[in-house]
Amino acid sequence: MELVKLQEAIERAGANWQGGETTLSQLSDQEKQMRLGFQPRPDEPSLQELEQIGRINYEAFITFKAQGQTVGYPNVYDLRTGGFVTSIKDQKNCGSCVAFGTVATIEATFRRQRNNPNLNIDLSEAHLFYCYAKNEGMNCKTGWWPDHAMEAAKKGIVDEACFPYTPGDQDCKLCSDSQNRLVTISNYHKITDISAMKEWLSSRGALSGCFSVYDDFFSYKSGVYRHVTGDLKGGHCISIIGYNDNQGC
């Protein structure tokens, strides 16, 4: 995508974000897709349909706020402020984003619910993806599904040192004492109501979320992103760690 044309499109759309050259913007289409890794299952709505559902939910939320309804959460919240978010990771050239988004969400939520920003928790994305996902026939090209990753987390995830992540399809190579190093979650549930999401974020922890990625996103530098130009490249899963009503994000 030509940078000048992108910046012109951002300006025409009145979007509040800045685009520029990044480590991802110069990748080939195939390489860009390998940096993603989420596609809905055949029995689920498509990415485009999920976008439409998201817009409907957002419009309902705006109407709710305009009516002056009382909400039980602050206008701005960021888990980073309390030090609850663990370090940023890079999936690199493998469509393993579901594992990374899931692990980041679990780590931040453990810290938040224990109110301990110094809690030493660093879980293995490799365990989730190269063991659990692989057992389901998934790989770097196919990606995976968030609910399957959460189900796997109920069985347990080892720490990063037990199975360090490297990009590329590989065998499940857990350490010898892996059964003694498992961290589990008791359960999980889906939240689609925006107010409920914000209540959770401001009081309980992070959320695992996925979104459609268009070509312009690979040139994102800063600001509040919204799609202005470029084709749909696929879906990407991340950890949601806050919101800002003042900026509409």
Give pLDDT tens digits along the chain (249 positions): 788 999 999 999 999 999 999 999 999 999 999 999 999 999 999 999 999 999 999 999 888 888 877 778 999 999 999 999 999 999 999 999 999 999 999 999 999 999 999 999 999 999 999 999 999 999 999 999 999 999 999 999 999 999 999 999 999 999 999 999 999 999 999 999 999 999 999 999 999 999 999 999 999 999 999 999 999 999 999 999 999 999 989
CA-to-CA dists, residue 11 to 23, 228, 246, angstroms: 23, 9, 21
Residue 130: Cβ within 10 Å count: 27
**Bridging pattern class, strands 242-244 and 220-223:** unpaired
Burial of 59 (0-12, 13-18, 19+ CB in 10 A): exposed
Query: Which of 163, 160, 157 lies closest to 176 in space, CA to CA?
Result: 163
185 assigned to some structural domain: yes
Query: Domain of 190?
Result: 29-211+230-247
What pLDDT score does 226 carry? 96
What pLDDT score does 68 carry? 76
219 assigned to some structural domain: no
What pLDDT score does 69 carry? 73
What pLDDT score does 120 carry? 97
Residue 219: Cβ within 10 Å count: 23
188 assigned to some structural domain: yes
Helix (H), strand (E) at residue 144: none
Look at the chain and report how many structural domains it folds into: 1
94 assigned to some structural domain: yes
Residue 72: Cβ within 10 Å count: 10
What's the rounded Cα separation, in Å, for the pair 174 and 159?
Answer: 10
Mention every residue, 6+ apart, whose C-beta is less than 8 A from residue 218: 1, 22, 24, 25, 27, 32, 233
Q: For position 200, which CATH number holds?
A: 3.90.70.10
24 assigned to some structural domain: no
What pLDDT score does 93 carry? 97
2 assigned to some structural domain: no
23 assigned to some structural domain: no
22 assigned to some structural domain: no
